[in-house]
């Protein structure tokens, strides 16, 4: 039987600091079913919680320092709460950012000892960083007796990652890691932050394959897509592209935009419409329609938004060709990461495994693996 992240974080804490943590909290990673690059454009998204989680074992240390350790970096590191981030973003920057975002809200953190354990793949488009920040904030909420709701913590987590770490992510990731529940998709309006849990039909099943191609949200290409969307919105006279509505390509003067910006707008508006259609398909348990929406989303992300890669395209094409796959697409910010695919109940593991086997030569330089469904050994944890 596997040991859970909560248990591993507790054991790592005790081995590192010589005493037991007072609080252990965790948060799941997420896979975005559909609604990609719509969150920072004021649109709708439809993420789901992963079974994999990140755990934070924590105690207050009164030192004005964050002393931290993780399974990947098993030697404890101490840094001042207000220390600037280095040239390379580390997991300690996310921990400090969580503390600083709380301090900005008027809740000073006197310093913490913290140990991190996680099953969420890093750099795979599955919100490992948001799970880390939300888990840390949950532990701080318990340690400091704070009254923040999960929605409130999600907002603080977004502020931590966006403003204090400096990674330009949208609000979807912390909202999903904080609010998503098992066996449901989180329908989130990223403008109003209204949300609803939509039941995932038991007749259907998802698989997630990590391609092994790592991405960086702080990379120039992700920032460039945000800047392009902002430029297009300004040219069209709106604050956020999704204020335009799905039919805007016929209504507004898109001729004023460059071909590249028109393509970006087309993706954002069509993807926003696909979220509503996907929710309807979920409620009707219409797997064929949902699969077609996933395929259309991938094509748009590949051709109009240009965030896919040849390796990801190969994996999606191979998965889609496997008998039993209803549809597949890249998930997450892009430029590597993971794909999500849809099957009938009980077929996801076999389809994902066959997709990996048939993609082996084209992904030989990577280390792809099935993340969901969990293997039988993992499921017993």
Q: Is 168 exposed, middle or buried (0-12, 13-18, 19+ CB in 10 A)?
A: middle
Nearest to 96 by CA among 115, 72, 68: 68
Q: Given phi > 0 = left and psi -120 to 50 = alpha, else beta, which region is 213?
A: beta
Other C-beta atoms closer than 10 Å to the C-beta of 7 total: 15
Res 380: pLDDT? 45
Please work out, in degrees rounded to the nearest 5, the angle formed at the alpha carbon of residue 104 by the alpha carbons of 100 and 109.
50
Res 381: pLDDT? 47
Helix, strand or coil, per DSSP, at residue 278: helix
Strand runs labelled E in the chain: 23-34, 44-60, 65-70, 77-80, 112-118, 184-189, 195-199, 204-213, 325-331, 337-344, 369-372
Res 344: pLDDT? 98
Catalytic residue among 119, 173, 210, 286: 173
Token pair 């038991």 in the structure block, residue: 202
Compute the Cα dihedral for 11, 17, 19, 21 and give only its sign: negative
Compute the Cα dihedral for 37, 42, 46, 48 and give only its sign: positive
Dihedral of CA atoms 322, 206, 171, 167 in degrees, nearest 10, equals: -50
Res 90: pLDDT? 86
Give CA–CA dist 289/280, Å, rounded.
9
> Each residue's pLDDT tens digit in the chain (381 positions)?
589 999 999 999 999 999 999 999 999 999 999 999 999 999 999 999 999 999 999 999 989 899 999 998 878 888 888 766 665 778 899 999 999 999 999 998 999 999 999 999 998 999 999 999 999 999 999 999 999 999 999 999 999 999 999 888 899 999 999 999 999 999 999 999 999 999 999 999 999 999 999 876 445 888 999 999 999 999 999 999 999 977 777 766 667 789 999 999 999 999 999 999 999 999 999 999 999 999 999 999 999 999 999 999 999 999 999 999 999 999 999 999 999 999 999 999 999 999 999 998 788 889 999 999 976 445 544
Instruction: Go through the domains of the chain in sequence order and give each one's CATH number.
Output: 5-199 (3.30.230.10), 204-379 (3.30.70.890)
Burial of 332-353, coded b for 16+ CB within 10 Å and e otherwise, reads: bbbbbbbbbbbbeeebbbebbe
Res 340: pLDDT? 98
Q: Report the predicted TM-score, pTM, of the whole model to 2 decimal places.
A: 0.94
Catalytic residue flag (residue 303):
no
């Amino acid at each position: 039987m596997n040991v859970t992240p909560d248990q591993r974080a507790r054991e790592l804490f005790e081995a590192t600091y010589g005493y037991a943590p007072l609080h252990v909290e965790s948060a799941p990673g997420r896979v975005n079913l559909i609604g990609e690059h719509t969150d920072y454009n004021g649109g709708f998204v439809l993420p789901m919680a992963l079974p994999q989680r990140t755990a934070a074992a924590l105690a207050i240390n009164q030192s004005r320092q964050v002393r931290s350790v993780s399974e990947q970096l098993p030697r404890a590191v101490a840094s001042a709460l207000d220390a600037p981030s280095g040239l390379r973003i580390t997991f300690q920057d996310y921990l400090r950012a969580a503390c600083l975002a709380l301090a900005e809200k008027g809740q000073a953190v006197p310093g913490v000892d913290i140990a991190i354990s996680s099953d969420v793949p890093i750099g795979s488009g599955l919100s490992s960083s948001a799970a880390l920040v939300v888990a840390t904030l949950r532990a701080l909420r318990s340690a400091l007796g704070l009254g923040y709701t999960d929605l409130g913590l999600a907002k603080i987590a977004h502020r931590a990652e966006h403003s204090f770490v400096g990674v330009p992510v949208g609000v979807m990731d912390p909202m999903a890691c904080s609010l998503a529940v098992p066996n449901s998709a989180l329908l989130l309006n990223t403008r109003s932050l209204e949300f609803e849990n939509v039941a995932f039909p038991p007749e259907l099943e998802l698989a997630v394959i990590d391609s092994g191609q790592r991405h960086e949200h702080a990379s120039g290409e992700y920032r460039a897509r945000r800047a392009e969307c902002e430029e297009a919105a300004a040219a069209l006279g709106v604050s956020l592209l999704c204020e335009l509505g799905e039919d805007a390509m016929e209504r507004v003067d898109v001729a004023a935009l460059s071909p590249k910006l028109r393509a970006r707008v087309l993706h954002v508006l069509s993807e926003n419409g696909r979220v509503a259609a996907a929710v309807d398909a979920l409620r009707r348990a219409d797997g064929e329609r949902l699969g077609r929406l996933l395929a259309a989303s991938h094509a748009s992300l590949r051709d109009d938004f240009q965030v896919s890669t040849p390796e990801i395209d190969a994996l999606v094409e191979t998965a889609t060709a496997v008998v039993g796959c209803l549809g597949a697409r890249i998930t997450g910010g892009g430029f590597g990461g993971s794909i999500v695919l849809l099957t009938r109940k009980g077929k996801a593991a076999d389809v994902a495994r066959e997709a990996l086997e048939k993609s082996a030569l084209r992904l030989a330089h990577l280390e792809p693996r099935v993340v969901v469904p969990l293997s039988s050994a993992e499921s017993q944890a």
